[in-house]
């Protein structure tokens, strides 16, 4: 196997100055949510990192995640990280198609055996292998085959991470997540519908620069981005504490930017970086735009009650059953009273 | 030196990020004076509400020195009205902001010429003699 | 299904059935009982007014006991009023009720609720300490008293924990909180917490009986 160039060499060859490199490292630290004091270490790591082969598999998905990633604004993605990774297979982005594309995938797998990264977006249908195929290969088979020689698998988006919308009730295709199928390789989940582009980039950057997997939470999400709830970092939080809530999307409270809890905000139970990293290059995020968080980076967010139903609402099925319980109570009470009366009468007679 | 425009700190109508941040800057200035140690604050890591960042920028104002850097997209490096407090903005090739920092230092590192670049430049200069 | 879904769905559902059926069972069972015949000559006619009077007067300490019971009485008031405010005036709770009642009412800021919740817990603990240290009270206390105390305080403590967090995950704490509420709902009709709906019935009955016998109420 020929040695792939280091990122430092690639940059030098491109005529990027040291200042440019420093700038790149600073933004990388930012993206990785590392403190600026880490910049020198990052610089050293990036200089020596080698170009890594990436195979991207798209299964039952809407291409929103790819769309999101290619919107990533940092100099990293279009410019540098995509120079630093070699995207050897991505059937939506690559020019090659059909057998040619599959040949590219096999070549990349052979050449980088044990070292390449597999990125997956979309869930995998187990109901019928014919539900989703690429070049006549079912999604399950392609995943298993491709993952065999991978260093790690990154599940991009809530579909790949948790089954997502294809897996929503009644799950007609029997969709499962990457985690459900890949148990013998490290899996990193980067959920979101779609995930924040910066977060996707960051996870790749981290792997490429430090050659190590990030610290993960119980759902295999990188803690750096999924370690805190939206609620804990939300700028509307002071209004929550003051009990100031928007009741509709156009009342005074909504105009004054009050908390969206009443409108169904799932921020308190949602772990994601929207509140700080934000979207569209840090322009804003859904709550800032006036819409409650849907909880898109959490498992089953699609089935977890209504989007506009407050988090503290209970899920009762019907008032009728409750009325039934009341009727049962009356009946039980009547029986108890009758028994009591009989006991009373007996007691009176016997004295 | 231009005098700081006195935008009152308490006038912040926002979500309470500005005050603690300025406090941090104050401590960083103390540290700079006492130990000459610089501090960088990544503004992207703070949960600013709408308008808060602009408020902070207005509050810190513009000082005597500002520079433009052209490397992998443009960057602006500007001393605020408070000497030693620098406002840095990095843009990518599409002119989109990719990083915003406050540096509390005598000179931001990125302003000085870097050895690697000096070496490359020197070699280039030497070539001119041939 | 995760723990939170379980708590919000089936657990609350079953608890609600038990709460409703159990409370009505106990109320009906008592109200339908035949009055015990009292063969003594009535001193006064024990009417509804007498019942209402005792319901009212028993809200305060009778003067001979003022000194002795002022402290526990105050603690009991703080605990009950705190509990009431936390349950019915905390905005996320109001939204919980709105979910099935269909209407809402104004609440208090979370910081005030937090303070009242802490006050309720502190006074609850003070009452327990008294129960344990006072020899007479301890003698007449049984499992029901202690368990009812626990079941009352547990949801307040778990609720307060949600806002304190202490490194635990919000969804886990919320699930535990709701499960603790479900436990309260299940126990409420059967033990001494039944006083929630029986307290005025018993006081009224006492009032009527005492009136009839000419006792000073
Ligand atoms: C099923 C009904 C209930 C639900 C869904 C519920 C839900 C909640 C929620 C969402 C919070 C917010 C925590 C926060 O972010 O501050 C909370 C707090 C709390 N709950 Fe409940 N709760 C219920 C019933 C109760 C009951 C019956 C009690 C008391 C016996 C109680 C006591 C509390 C307390 C003390 C707090 C802390 C208030 C604070 O934030 O300062 N809850 N509850
Ligand atoms: C209309 C509603 C209620 C009324 C009028 C009421 C009244 C009372 C009274 C008069 C006492 C005796 C206090 C004393 O020792 O001086 C008491 C004790 C107690 N109540 Fe309630 N109560 C009500 C609802 C509730 C509810 C809903 C709960 C729990 C969820 C509760 C929990 C307790 C507990 C734990 C005690 C024992 C306190 C101790 O250890 O001394 N109460 N209540
Ligand atoms: S808008 Fe949502 S995330 Fe923000 S404070 Fe309110 S409930 Fe929390
Ligand atoms: S605010 Fe919530 S629903 Fe919206 S993108 Fe972020 S995590 Fe997803």
CATH number (domain holding residue C102):
1.20.950.20
Output the ligand 2 site: residues, CB below 6 A: C 72-73, 76, 80, 127, 131, 148-149, 152, 184, 193, 195-196, 199
From A314, A331, A319, select the one nearest C185 (Cα to Cα).
A314
CATH code reported for the domain at A52-226: 3.40.50.700
Query: Is any ligand 4 atom within 6 A of the Cβ of residue A272?
Result: yes
pLDDT at residue B2, rounded to an integer: 43
Q: Which residues contact C184 (CB under 8 A, 6 or more apart)?
A: C151, C152, C154, C155, C193
Is C92 inside any structural domain?
A: yes
Nearest ligand, CA of residue C141? 2
CB contact under 8 A, B101 and A26: yes
The nearest alpha carbon in chain A to C162 belongs to A268
Strands (E) across A76-145 are located at 85-90, 116-121, 124-125, 133-134, 137-138
Tell me the pLDDT tens digit for each residue of B88-126. Answer: 998 877 777 888 999 999 999 899 998 888 998 899 899
- SS3 string, B81-124, reads CCCCEEEEEEECCCCCEEEEEEEECCCCHHHCCCHHHHHHHHHH
* Gap between the Cα atoms of C13 and C185, Å rounded: 10
Q: A238 CA distance to ligand 1 centroid (A)?
A: 18
Is C20 inside any structural domain?
A: yes
List the CATH number of the domain containing B72. Answer: 3.30.1370.140
Mean pLDDT of A82-95: 66
Identify the helix (H) or strand (E) that includes residue B66: strand B66-70
Other beta carbons within 10 angstroms of residue B97's beta carbon come to 17
Tell me the residue range of the domain where B44 lies.
9-127
Output b/e per residue, B15-28; b: 16+ Cβ within 10 A.
bebbeebbeebeeb
Sequence spans of domains, chain A? 52-226, 228-315, 320-351
Is B1 inside any structural domain?
A: no
CB-based contact B67:B76 (threshold 8 Å): yes
Partner chains of A (3+ C-beta pairs under 8 Å) = B, C
Query: For a pLDDT cut of 70, what percent of chain B falls above it?
Result: 88
What ipTM, to 2 d.p.? 0.80
Count of domains for chain B: 1
A65, A70, A74, A78 alpha-carbon torsion, rounded to 10° = 140
* Gap between the Cα atoms of C16 and B59, Å rounded: 55
Parts of chain C with a pLDDT under 50 = none
Q: Which of A261, A299, A326 sits opposite C20 (nearest CB)?
A: A326
Average pLDDT in chain B: 85
Tell me the residue range of the domain where C126 lies.
3-29+65-211
Tell me the pLDDT tens digit for each residue of A258-282. Answer: 999 999 999 999 999 998 888 877 7
pTM for the model: 0.78
**Right CATH for A228-315 from 3.50.50.60, 4.10.480.10, 2.40.70.10, 3.30.420.40:** 4.10.480.10
Count of domains for chain C: 1
CB-based contact A124:A169 (threshold 8 Å): no
Mean pLDDT of A278-290: 85
């Amino acid at each position: 196997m020929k040695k792939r160039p280091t990122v430092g060499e690639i940059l030098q060859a491109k005529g990027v100055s040291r200042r440019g490199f420093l700038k790149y490292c600073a933004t990388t630290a930012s993206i990785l949510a590392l403190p600026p004091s880490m910049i020198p270490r990052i610089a050293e790591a990036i200089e020596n990192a080698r170009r890594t082969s990436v195979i991207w598999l798209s299964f039952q998905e809407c291409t929103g995640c790819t769309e999101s990633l290619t919107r990533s604004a940092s100099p990293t993605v279009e410019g540098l990280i995509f120079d630093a990774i070699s995207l050897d297979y991505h059937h939506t982005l690559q020019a090659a198609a059909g057998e040619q594309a599959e040949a590219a995938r096999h070549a990349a797998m052979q050449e980088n055996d044990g070292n390449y990264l597999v990125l997956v977006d979309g869930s995998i249908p187990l109901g019928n292998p014919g539900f989703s195929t690429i070049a006549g290969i079912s999604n399950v088979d392609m995943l298993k085959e491709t993952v065999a020689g991978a260093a790690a698998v990154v599940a991009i988006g809530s579909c790949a991470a948790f089954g997502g919308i294809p897996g929503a009730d009644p799950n007609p295709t029997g969709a499962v997540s990457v985690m459900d199928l890949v148990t013998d390789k490290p899996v990193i989940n980067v959920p979101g519908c779609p995930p924040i582009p910066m977060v996707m980039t960051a996870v790749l950057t981290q792997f490429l620069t430090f050659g190590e997997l990030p610290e993960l939470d119980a759902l295999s999400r990188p803690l750096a981005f999924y370690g805190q709830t939206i609620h804990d970092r939300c700028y509307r939080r002071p209004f929550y504490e003051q009990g100031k809530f928007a009741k509709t999307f156009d009342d005074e409270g909504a105009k004054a930017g009050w908390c969206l809890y009443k409108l169904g905000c799932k921020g308190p139970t949602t772990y994601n970086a929207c509140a700080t990293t934000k979207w569209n290059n840090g322009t804003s995020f859904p709550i800032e735009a006036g819409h409650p968080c849907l909880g898109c980076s959490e498992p089953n967010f699609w089935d977890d009650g209504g989007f506009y139903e407050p988090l503290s609402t209970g899920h009762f099925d019907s008032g009728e059953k409750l009325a039934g319980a009341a009727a049962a109570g009356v009946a039980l009470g009547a029986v108890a009273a009758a028994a009591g009366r009989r006991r009373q009468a007996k007691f009176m007679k016997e004295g | 030196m231009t005098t700081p425009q006195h935008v009152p700190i308490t006038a912040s109508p926002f979500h309470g990020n500005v005050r603690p941040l300025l406090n941090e800057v104050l401590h960083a200035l103390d540290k700079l004076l006492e130990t000459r140690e610089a501090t960088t604050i990544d503004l992207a890591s703070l949960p600013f509400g709408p308008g808060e960042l602009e408020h902070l920028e207005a509050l810190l104002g513009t000082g005597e020195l500002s520079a433009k850097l052209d490397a992998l997209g443009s960057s602006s490096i500007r001393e605020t009205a408070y000497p030693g407090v620098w406002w840095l903005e990095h843009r990518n090739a599409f002119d989109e902001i990719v990083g915003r920092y406050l540096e509390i230092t005598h000179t931001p590192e990125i302003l000085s010429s870097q050895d690697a670049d000096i070496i490359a430049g020197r070699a280039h200069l030497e070539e001119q003699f041939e | 299904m995760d723990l939170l879904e379980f708590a919000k769905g089936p657990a609350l559902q079953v608890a609600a059935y038990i709460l409703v059926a159990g409370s009505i069972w106990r109320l009906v069972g008592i109200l339908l009982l035949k009055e015990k015949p009292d063969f003594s000559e009535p001193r006064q006619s024990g009417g509804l007014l007498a019942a209402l009077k005792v319901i009212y007067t028993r809200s305060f300490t009778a003067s001979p006991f003022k000194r002795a019971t002022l402290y526990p009485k105050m603690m009991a008031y703080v605990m009950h009023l705190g509990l009431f405010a936390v349950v019915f005036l905390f905005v996320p709770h109001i939204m919980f009720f709105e979910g099935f009642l269909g209407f809402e009412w104004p609440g208090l800021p979370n910081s005030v609720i937090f303070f009242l919740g802490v006050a309720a817990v502190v006074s609850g603990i003070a009452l327990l300490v008294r129960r344990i240290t006072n020899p007479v009270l301890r003698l007449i206390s049984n499992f029901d008293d202690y368990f009812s105390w626990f079941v009352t305080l547990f949801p307040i403590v778990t609720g307060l924990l949600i806002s304190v967090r202490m490194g635990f995950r919000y969804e886990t704490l919320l699930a535990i909180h709701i499960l603790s509420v479900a436990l309260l709902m299940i126990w409420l009709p059967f033990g001494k917490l039944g006083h929630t709906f029986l307290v005025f019935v018993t006081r009224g009955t006492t009032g009527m009986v005492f009136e009839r016998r000419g006792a000073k109420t």
